[in-house]
Structure 1
Amino acid sequence: MKRLLIASLLLGLLPAAPVMAEQSQKFGAYEIHYNAMPTDELAAKVAKAYNMDRRKARGLVTISILKSSSLGGIGQPVKATLDVSVVNMSQQLSRVKMREIAEGTALYYIGEFRITPPDTLKFRVTVKPAGEKLESTVEFSQEFFK
């Protein structure tokens, strides 16, 4: 059942519009994947399983950190300390409380935030992988139209 929920969540995060496609940035041996979307686009079953509000006025940000393997291929998920903030077009800043989700070999972080469409939100994500001294920062923007 949990694998079905993970698959549903990940499929729910694959939007039709290219504007909302998952993005990533590399920092040395690490690759940080990020995505933001309205929670009303999640399947009801997935939102319920992860105890999320499924509304047009709520957004979901997902972050995963992968460490490159010396053998190549897909990196291994790693734990990290995250600090996520979001700024709207009115320059209002808010922090996003992130939750770690670990199921099987999958490891990712999710957090909810308030949106008032139409708006363009600017995200700042600071990531410190477990066991590392240096932090990496990813900044991205996401438009919300509904």
Structure 2
Amino acid sequence: MSRPLSAALLFAAAVLASVGAMAQQSERFGPYELHYSVVNTSFLAPEVAAQYGIVRGKKRAILNLAVREHVEGGASEARTMLIKGHTKDLIQAQDLSFQEVREGPAIYYLAPFKFINREWRFFKLHFRPEGATETYTFEFKHQLYVH
């Protein structure tokens, strides 16, 4: 197995393990489905974090996004996207800086941020999938804990 592919599998496993019993989160926008998760970076193996340039820490997390387009025949295909966004709590806001990651057919976007224990983070994202004629806005909140 190639090193980048094995790192991608380790990263995916770390993300899935950190989500635990929580169902995959996604939201539908016309023919597009935005998949999202928030992961505390302390769940990532050091070598996986290093591979993607992610700083691990108890008060650091990443937002992981991917968009898929539903096509004929019931299948879906990964799409690139233009994306901007920010996160805030009750005191401060942070612009999110996204890194595009491509591993085989998978395309996802990672944005690191800092947080305070037990706080609710509010996210607002504007994204335009490849081939779309519209920019979509998505907002959600997520509570974070130090592990």
Instruction: Return the TM-score normalized by structure 1.
Output: 0.90
2:64–2:108 contact (8 Å) kept in structure 1: yes
Query: What corresponds to 1:42 in structure 2?
Result: 44
> Aligned to 1:71, what secondary structure does the other structure show?
helix
More helix by percentage: 2
Structure 2: distance between partners of 1:118 and 1:96: 20
How high is the sequence identity, in percent, across the aligned residues?
Answer: 24
Among candidates 34, 58, 62, match of residue 56 of structure 1: 58
Distance 1:5 1:60 in 2: 17
- Cα distance in 2 for partners of 1:36, 1:16 equals 8
CA distance in 2, matches of 1:16, 1:9: 12
The alignment status of 1:78 with 2:52, answered yes or no, reads: no
> In the aligned structure 1, how far is the partner of 2:86 from the partner of 2:61?
13
Stretches (4+) displaced over 3 A? 16-19
| SS of alignment partner, residue 36 of structure 1 | strand
- Structure 1 residue 16: Cα displacement: 5.0
The number of residues matched between the two structures is 143
The residue that corresponds to 1:131 in the other structure is: 131
Separation in 2 of the partners of 1:86 and 1:98? 12
> What runs of 5+ residues in structure 1 fail to find an aligned partner?
none
| C-alpha deviation, 1:18, in angstroms | 4.3
Question: What residue ranges of structure 2 are gaps of 5+ in the alignment?
Answer: none
